Amino acid sequence: MQYKVSVIIPVFNSELYIRRCFESLHKQTLKEIEIIFVDDGSTDSSAEILKNLAELDTRVKLITQTNKGTGAARNAGIRSAKGEYIAFMDSDDSADTEMLNFLFQKAMFDKDIVVCGHQEIKPNKTVKKHLFSPDYNARDYFSDIVALVKPSAVWAKIYHRDLFLNSECFFSETIRNNEDNATLLKLLYFANSVNFVFNSLYQWFRLEGSKSQTINPIRISETIDVMNVRKGFLLDKGIFETYKLPFLRSIIRTIKVRFNNIDKFTVGSEREDLLRHFYQALCQPQLLSEQTLQYFKLAIPSEYWNLIYKALDDSIIVGRTAFISLFPKNDIALAKANYGAGKDPKLVGLVKNIKKSGIRNLYIYGTGDTWLRLKACLPKSFIIKGFIDKKFAKNATKKKDEFTLEEAFSVMKEPSVIVIASISQVEQITDQILLAAKRLRRTPHVIRFFESEPCLEERDNG
């Protein structure tokens, strides 16, 4: 049989899930497929199960190796593959029966890579669909993968086999965690064409005990290693400046994810040890530097200040001193002063900035938890003229003081102040306000939890 697609599945102690993965491939409507299982030194019954599956379907090929990691297993599969296209699956995931057919049919129109949507199935069984909009394109996707705002896994895609004639497109065999993050970036860079299937055809199971649900020192160190590999690749290809902001966003996203992993999956001394290890790893000069942080401060100020406050939150951790020393002394002093003035330093900063504006009539953007906490400590001399939120556009019974952004601008008197009562969505809300202000030729004061107001001209040039 001449295979159209070779599917490579690394296996390590996956006895509970291999059959589900196999069944989803066995039932594919595209029949000309090669199913390559690479047993990466499993110590459970996975090897025996794979032998039985090979007897059920002659398209199954088995490769056995000592434990070398997912990257090495995938590379072994690539070298053995006979298909015109190559796909990857994780052994605990599954695929819609039409996935390979849809991807291959789209690939026939001279496409090196075709990507489909996927479902993220969490441990509590909730399902989140990840889909692409019809106007999405390859450049947007590359930028999003650089920024890590979309999963940078190699599954839910097919790749023309000729891409792997380039040795740079093989997986790292020295990094065992997050190796996808570096490899997919390279594959997309070298591809002549990338297209999308807008259906959700791959099932990604977020299982208890899986890599994404655990954290350890090796995983932390290799997270930093992968970020450095990604940065090195962008620099080597001369495109780092073009994708500088998306890459720096990927650093922020990775830091937040790892901090969340540590807080969620560890306690006590284990947590302290991992935090210490992470802060030390972050001080690698090729990843974070004083210059990089200054760029953060200008381009993504809320994340810059969140980093400072997070480090101060972890004040008991030995090893964060070098990390804090990367920031300007004045910024650290300001953050410490806000800590000294209350239990919620970001809220303290927000109130300080409101007072500095000297304008008493305020419009509050956001009605969530941050506003409720702000309300409790805002001096009574300030007058709340209205609340702004996108959700009010859909509310037919909204109150007189509830506005969409455009409605608020229509009733505001100059000088006007919009207070962003949010900590996590500051940049997105700021962009919405500035775009509307430019369109409507308004110049509001925008107050956030950190120093400095946004500048419309700077945002346009950025």
> What CATH number is attached to the domain comprising 351?
3.40.50
Comparing 400 with 117, the larger pLDDT belongs to: 117
Q: Which are the contacts of 365, defined by CB distance < 8 A and separation ≥ 6?
A: 387, 388, 389, 405, 418, 419, 420, 421, 422, 429, 433
Residue 459: which pLDDT band, with cuts at 50, 70 and 90?
A: very low
pLDDT in tens, 328-352: 999 999 999 998 887 789 999 999 9
Whether residue 144 sits in one domain with residue 23: yes
Both tokens assigned to 30: 């595209």
pTM of the predicted protein model: 0.88
Domain boundary among 307, 324, 340: 340
Please indicate, yes or no, whether residues 62 and 176 belong to a single structural domain of this protein. yes
What pLDDT is attached to residue 210? 66
* CATH number of the domain encompassing residue 46: 3.90.550.10
Q: Are residues 119 and 200 in the same domain?
A: yes
Query: Could you tell me which residue, 128 or 454, shows the higher pLDDT?
Result: 128
Q: Is the pLDDT of residue 418 over 50?
A: yes
Same domain, 202 and 144: yes
Regarding whether 193 and 101 lie in a shared domain, the answer is yes
Claim to verify: residue 187 and residue 330 sit in the same structural domain: no
Q: What is the pLDDT of residue 124?
A: 87
In the predicted structure, residue 456 carries a pLDDT above the cut 80 = no
Q: What is the pLDDT of residue 462?
A: 39
In this structure, the answer to whether residues 115 and 222 fall within a common structural domain is no
For 41-50, 163-172, 437-446, which range has the lowest pLDDT when averaged over its residues?
A: 437-446
Highest mean pLDDT among 80-84, 148-152, 420-424: 80-84
Claim to verify: residue 49 and residue 138 sit in the same structural domain: yes
pLDDT for the residue 19: 97
CB-side neighbour CA atoms (13 Å) of 262 = 25
d(CA 263, CA 271) in angstroms, rounded, equals 7
129 three-state secondary structure: strand
Residue 321's Cβ-count burial label (10 Å; 0-12, 13-18, 19+) is exposed
**Residue entry with tokens 């953007």:** 365
Domain check: are 133 and 276 in the same one?
A: no
pLDDT on residue 76: 98
CA gap 184, 154 in Å, rounded: 6
Same domain, 116 and 145: yes
Looking at the structure, tell me whether residues 220 and 205 fall in a common domain.
no
What domain count does the chain have?
A: 3
Domain that holds residue 363: 345-461
* pLDDT band (50, 70, 90) for residue 61: very high
Q: What is the pLDDT of residue 47?
A: 96
Phi-psi region of 216 (alpha: psi -120 to 50; beta: other; left: phi over 0): beta
Pick 416 or 185 by higher pLDDT: 185
At residue 209, does pLDDT exceed 70? no
pLDDT digits (tens, 9 = 90+) for 18-40: 999 999 999 999 999 999 999 99
Task: For residue 180, give the nearest of 208, 205, 152 by alpha carbon.
Answer: 152
User: Which residue in the block uniquely carries the two structure tokens 């859909």?
Assistant: 394
Q: How confident is the model at residue 283 (pLDDT cuts 50, 70, 90)?
A: confident
Q: Give residue 123's pLDDT band: very low, low, confident or very high (50, 70, 90).
A: confident
Of the three residues 211, 243, 261, the one that is the final residue of a domain is: 211
453: pLDDT confidence band, cut at 50, 70 and 90?
A: low
**Residues 227, 124 share a domain:** no
Three-state SS at 419:
strand
> Is residue 427 within 8 Å of 374, Cβ to Cβ?
no
Average pLDDT over residues 37-55: 97
377 has a pLDDT exceeding 90: no
**Each residue's pLDDT tens digit, 228-269:** 999 999 999 999 999 999 999 999 999 999 999 999 899 999
Of the three residues 211, 227, 242, the one that is the final residue of a domain is 211
Arithmetic mean of pLDDT over the chain: 91
Q: What is the per-residue pLDDT for 38?
A: 98
Share of the chain above pLDDT 70, in %: 96
pLDDT for 181 beyond 70: yes
Q: What's the pLDDT band for 195 if we cut at 50, 70, 90?
A: very high
